[in-house]
A and B are shown apart, each in its own frame.
Chain A
Amino acid sequence: MKGMIIMNNKNKLLSITEKRANNSMKIGSKNGIKLLSFPYIIWMIGFIVLPLILILYYGLTNKSGEFTLSNIALITDPINRKALLLALELSLISTIICLLLAYPLSMILSKNAKNSNSFVVLIIILPMWMNFLLRTIAWQNILEKTGILNTILKFLHLPTLNIINTPTAIVLGMVYNFLPFMILPIYNVLSKIDKDVVNAARDLGANGFQTFMKIIFPLSIPGVISGITMVFVPSLTTFVISTILGGSKLVLIGNVIEQQFRLGNWNTGSGLSLVLMVFIFMSMAILSKYDKESEGSQIW
C-alpha cells in the first residue's frame, strides 16, 4: 500500500519545492497562517527528527555511553555481512524481476481505451487490501512441501518442488508484495504520453522498435525510477518476508536488526541501522540522478 503513495509523493514533493514557490497562494495574514504549522513542527521534531538523532546516538555509543565505532563495524561480522549481502542480492533480483514483469504489462494496459483507466488501477491495487502478512502466509501455503503447488504437481505426475525456505521463496514473496508498486507508476507515465508524440515519431520514419527505444522508453523513465524506489527499499529492509518464507536459517539484514532490538541490544541494533540507512540513502541518490524530471504522476 505504501509504495503507491510514496511513488507520487516523492516526486510531488520535489516538484513542489523546486518549481512552484512563486505561485503559492498567500491566504490571510502571513503570521496567522503560519501558526497553523506549529503543531506539526513540534510533532515532527519530537517524533521524526529526535528519534533519528537517537539512532545516531545509540549507534555511535556503547552501553556505557562512550563514543565508539564498534557498532558500525559490526557490519563486517561474517553473519551480519552475509545478511546484508543476501538482502542486497535478493532485493536487486526482485526489483529486476518486478521491472521485467511490470513494464510489458503496463504497456499492454496503457494501450486500452481511456475509460478503463481507473478500473485497471483498481484491479491492480485490490490485492493490496488483503492484509500484508496473510498474503505472504498464503504463499507459505502454496509453496510448502505438502502445499498446494506440490499437490497440483503430484496430480500431474510432475516432480515436486522444494521452494519454501529457500532464497527463491523470499524473492517470490518480495515480487508478489511489491509488483503493484512497479506496475502503477510505469502505467501512469505511459498512459500520459501524448499519443501524437508517438504518431509523430512514426510519421518521421521510425518503426515500432525505434519508436520504443527513442521515444516511449525515455519518456517512461520517471515512472521506472519511482517503481524501482518503491520496490527496492522495502525489499532490502524486510524481515517479515524472510521470516515467513525463508525459515529461520535464511537471515536478512532486517532480521538481524530486529533480533538485536528484541534482545535489547540497542547500540548494536542502531549501529547496523545506520549502515542500512547509508545504503538506502546511496540508492536514493543514484536513482535521483536519473530522475531529472521531477514531475511525478498522480494515482488519483
Chain B
Amino acid sequence: MTDNKLINLVNISKSYGDTIVLDDLNLYIRENEFLTLLGPSGCGKTTTLRILGGFETPNQGKVIFQGKDISKLAPNERPLNTVFQKYALFNHMTISENIAFGLKIKKKSKEYIKDKIKYALKLVNLEGFENRMPDSLSGGQQQRIAIARAIVNEPKVLLLDEPLGALDLKLRQDMQYELIRLKNELGITFVYVTHDQEEALTMSDTIVVMNQGYIQQIGSPEDIYNEPTNAFVADFIGDSNIIPSIMVDDKLVNILGANFPCVDTGFGKNKPVDVVIRPEDIDLVMPEEGIIRGVVTSLIFKGVHYEMDVMANGREWLVHSTDLSPVGSEVGIWVDPFDIQIMNKPESEDEEAAEIVE
C-alpha cells in the first residue's frame, strides 16, 4: 500500500429535497488499500459510494481520480467497477455472457474474452459455471459472479456495496477471506461499504466511520478499536463501557467517584470527559484488590468468553472474561491505565451530530 492518493473526494455535499445526506465530505483513498466506509443505516456511506461510481451526482464538490476531475463523467466512462448489494446480475444472460459483458463493450477479441472468463471463474472458485443461468445459482455463488463480472474489466478501483449482507454467517466469513485474497492477488484498491463493524475490522486497511453524513474517524482497525475519538465511534465499534467522568489532571481520571490512573495528557484540569473501557480490558479481582468494588448481577456463557454485568459505584459495567465470577459474588474492578481511553465531550454542532442517537 503506497501513499499515493488515487481518489480524492473534495467538499462533497448531497441532499434529497430537505434531507441533507452528506455535508462537506472530504476523503482521500490510497492506491491498493482496502478502505471501508462503516456506519449505521442512513449515515451516507452508500451515497458516497454511488457518487464515486457515478450513479449519484453531488450537489456540491468534486471527485478527483488520479489528479483528473471525473465528477461529470457517466458511470460507463469511469475506470471503476461496482459490485452491487443485490448482485444485479443479468438474469436473461448466461454466466459467461454476464462476465463477458464489459469486455464485449470494449471490443476485446473472442480468445481474450474466453481466457478472461476462465480466469475469473477460477479466481472465484466457480469453474465450469459458464453456461449456467443466474437464477439457478445460490446467493453466495451469485455474489461471486457479480465480483467476477466486475474484476475482469481490470478496474483500478473496485466499489463494493454491502455485498455480503444477504449471506448466512458461515458463508459471509468465508467470503470475507476470499475478498482479502482477491484484493491481494489483483493488487487493486477496494472501497467497501458495510454496517457490520466486525466485517470492517476483519478486512480493512483503513476504516472510515460515518454517522449522519459526517466522517467520525478515519484510521486503521486497531486505531479505531483501541482509540475511538468520540462516543459514537466507541459505541459503534465493539462493545464498550462509556462513562461520563472528570479528568482530574494529566494521567488521572475520576470515574464515578474513584480515581483511576491513565496515560492520557493534555485534557486540562477537572474537565468533564467521556471514558471508554472495553469489556475485555476489565479485570475482575478480589474486592480489596480493585480500584472500585461491585457485585456480579448477570453471567452469560458466550463461547469465546463469559459476559458479566457488574454493579459498581451506581453503574452496570460490562465485562468479558475467560474466567467466570458467579452471580452475587463481590468483586473488585481493576483496569490497566493503558486501557482507559479518554474522549472530549461533544462541543460543536459537528460533534453533536456524532453523538449516539438514543
Contact = CB atoms under 8 A, between A and B. Distances in A.
Check whether chain A touches chain B (CB < 8 angstroms): yes
Interface of A: 194, 196-197, 199-207, 210, 214-215, 218-219, 293
Given A205-B106, A206-B105, A200 B88 contact: yes
B74 interface: yes
B92 A219 contact: yes
Contact of A201 (B53, B91, B101, B150): B101
A207 B106 CA distance: 11
B88 A199 contact: yes
Interface in B281-316: none
B261 interface: no
Contacts of A202: 54-55, 74-76
Nearest to B78: A203
Contact of B75 (A197, A203, A210, A215): A203
Contacts of A215: 90
Contacts of A205: 76, 102, 105-106, 153
B153 A204 contact: yes
B105 A200 contact: no
Interface string B68-92: 0000001110001110111011111
A289 to B, nearest CB: 15
Contacts, number: 62
Given A202-B74, A203-B81, 6 more contacts: A199-B53, A200-B82, A202-B76, A203-B55, A204-B76, A207-B74
Given A199-B82, A204-B101, A204-B149, A218 B92 contact: yes
Contacts of A199: 53, 55, 75, 82, 84, 88
A206 B90 contact: no
Interface of B: 53-55, 74-76, 80-82, 84-86, 88-92, 101-102, 105-106, 149-150, 153
Most buried by B among A200, A204, A205, A219: A204
B102 A204 contact: yes
A203 B53 contact: yes
Contact of B105 (A197, A210, A219): A210
B202 to A, nearest CB: 25
29 contacts: A196-B86, A196-B88, A197-B88, A197-B90, A199-B75, A199-B82, A199-B84, A199-B88, A200-B82, A200-B84, A200-B88, A200-B90, A202-B55, A202-B76, A203-B53, A203-B54, A203-B81, A203-B82, A203-B150, A204-B76, A204-B105, A204-B149, A204-B153, A206-B76, A207-B74, A214-B101, A215-B90, A219-B91, A293-B92
A196 B105 contact: no
Contacts of B75: 199, 202-203
A194 B55 CA distance: 14
Contacts of B88: 194, 196-197, 199-200
Contacts of A206: 76, 101, 105
Contacts of A210: 105
A2 B128 CA distance: 47
A266 B85 CA distance: 63
A218 B98 CA distance: 14
